A and B are shown apart, each in its own frame.
Chain A
Amino acid sequence: MIALSGVSKRYPGAHEALRDITLRIERGELILLTGPSGAGKSTLLKLIAAIERPTAGTVTVSGQNVARLSKRAIPYLRRNFGLVFQDHKLLYDRSVFENVVLPLRVAGFDGREAASRVRAALDKVGLLGRERSNPISLSGGEQQRVCIARAVVHRPSIVLADEPTANLDAEYAREIVALFGAFHQVGVTLMVATHDVGTFAPLTSRRIELRGGALVP
């Protein structure tokens, strides 16, 4: 489903963030991408989601070479992904519902169908009653769950999560981990970058470790 071959990424005027990465991720796998901060975990996720382009090598998602995609094709590739960010990236000038419905609007779903999907997603993350709230009034854990609802509302085949539990206390983190476990069970391909392996220990997963921009064998 996702394949990286000889991938390197160097930011202008900086060190090499990733060096010669080759790996394959099969459909329905749950990958834990681990390593200390600065190891290149975020960069790897960004390359897969075509947020960054590799300086060398190829990144293939569902048979498409991401690095070769035209600018116009990138939005359509992104719709295959659900992205979960460490800082949530929620919009605080609108309700929880309006935040979660955004990917559906982008994909052109209209009113009723979109609304029922948003409610299903919010139900999944346990926030069904909060759709009218402003995200700013929610706790950090709840905000992260809104972010997860937004990431899965359009039923993506791949979910990429970058440090989804980094700013949460242990109890909230356990809820998030349980959510990812549930997505994994329904066949979603998951790739979670975290420096906190312990929290994700309850999940059966394949671990990929990065250190200094290279894979640890």
Chain B
Amino acid sequence: MRSWLAQHGFAFRDALGRFARHLVPSVFNIVVIGVAVSLPLGLYVTVKNLGAVTGQLDAEPQLTLFMVPEASAEEAEAVGARLAQHPAVGKQRFVPKTEALDGLKRNAGMTEIIDNLGRNPLPDAWIVSGRGGDPATLESLRQEAVRWPKVDHAQLDTAWARKLDTAVRVGRAVTLLIAGLLAVALAAVTFNTIRLQILTRREEIEVSKLIGATDGFIRRPFLYFGLLQGIAGGLAACGLVWAALAALQAQVGPALLALAPEGGLLGLALPEAAAVLGVASALGWLGAWLSVTQHLWRIG
């Protein structure tokens, strides 16, 4: 146990020492990894904010049927009866043109304009919520209802929210795809770094093998190096994303808050940052393992 700890301690110090001795190339490697990881990470944060916005929107879709302006109360009543019998309809509410006008008048500055109009330009309307949450049934109801007599047009209120929702879904998929690609890049960068290190330490590896070093002993410092490089790259990525968010907030300021979810922009939560570090270090380790194992296999 003690010798196991001693060997790991030695390998860890050896890896740290190599970081320190080759500071400039190490820093550049970390920057490369950091930038690579920050791309999907930034996308992830963007999508997360968009997702939060759509989540806060009134999730229940509503269909509004506007009557033609000259429709009589009886004709509006007929549409109401038809809605009441329709299987897709959950709740329905009648908004007569007078009520709509009163609502409009409550907005500051509108009273004068409306009084000048002389007549009420607003139509009667039915506001309908669907039975069950599926927006698709309301959509088919919309297509059906526009053909009813005296119905002018029908509007699905959540259409844009659904489009946003779809965009968020696409965004998530794209994030995953880019993350996958850059994960391969991260492992490849580490593979190459370690390969170069092995080339400069070929003699040491050869001598170590001659005096009884196991493959594990030879591999260990390189694995630690890959791990450390991955963690440092992950930290750099988190830092970049954090800085980008701070800069965005400072630049666009209050205007951005109108678009942002309630309570401001969402950053990276601690568990998310931890996951990034975990994945980055695992990929660094993997790249190093592949590189050393390939080399040992070739010289063995």
Contacts and interface: CB of A to CB of B under 8 A. Distances in A.
A71 B300 CA distance: 9
B214 interface: yes
B211 interface: yes
Contacts of A102: 207-208, 211
A169 interface: no
Interface stretch (B4-12, B26-34, B186-194): B4-12
A170 interface: no
B224 to A, nearest CB: 15
A171 interface: no
Contacts of B3: 107-110
Interface in B1-25: 2-7, 9-10
Contacts, number: 58
Interface in A57-113: 71-72, 75-79, 81, 83, 89, 91, 93, 102-103, 105-111
Nearest to A51: B210
B112 interface: no
Q: Chain B interface residue count: which class? A: 20 to 34
Given A91-B203, A91-B204, A106 B211 contact: yes
Contacts of A105: 7, 10, 217
B68 to A, nearest CB: 87
Interface residues of A, number: 24
Contact of B211 (A71, A72, A93, A103): A103
B300 to A, nearest CB: 7
A106 B210 contact: no
Contacts of B4: 108
B213 interface: yes
B14 to A, nearest CB: 9
B212 interface: yes
Contact of A103 (B204, B212, B300): B212
A195 interface: no
A49 B211 CA distance: 10
8 contacts: A75-B217, A89-B210, A91-B203, A103-B211, A105-B217, A107-B3, A108-B7, A110-B5
A184 to B, nearest CB: 21
Contacts of A89: 203, 206-207, 210
Between B5, B7, B206, the greatest number of chain A beta carbons within 10 A of the residue's beta carbon is seen for: B7
B15 to A, nearest CB: 14
Secondary structure at chain A's binding surface: helix, strand, loop or mixed? Answer: mixed
B208 A106 contact: yes
Given A91-B204, A102-B208, A106-B208, A75 B213 contact: yes
Contacts of A79: 211-212
B6 A109 contact: yes
Contact of B212 (A76, A109, A111): A76
A42 B135 CA distance: 83
A56 B4 CA distance: 38
Between B10, B211, B213, the greatest number of chain A beta carbons within 10 A of the residue's beta carbon is seen for: B211
B7 A75 contact: no
Contacts of B208: 102, 106
Given A71-B300, A91-B204, A106-B217, A78 B6 contact: no
A43 to B, nearest CB: 15
A150 interface: yes
B212 to A, nearest CB: 4
A79 B209 CA distance: 10
A198 B212 CA distance: 32
Contacts of A71: 300
A72 B214 contact: yes
A75 B6 contact: no
A141 to B, nearest CB: 20
A156 B210 CA distance: 14
A106 B212 contact: yes
A72 B9 CA distance: 23
Given A91-B204, A106-B214, A110-B2, 18 more contacts: A75-B209, A75-B217, A76-B212, A79-B211, A79-B212, A91-B207, A102-B207, A102-B211, A103-B212, A105-B10, A105-B217, A106-B208, A107-B3, A107-B212, A108-B7, A110-B3, A110-B5, A150-B211
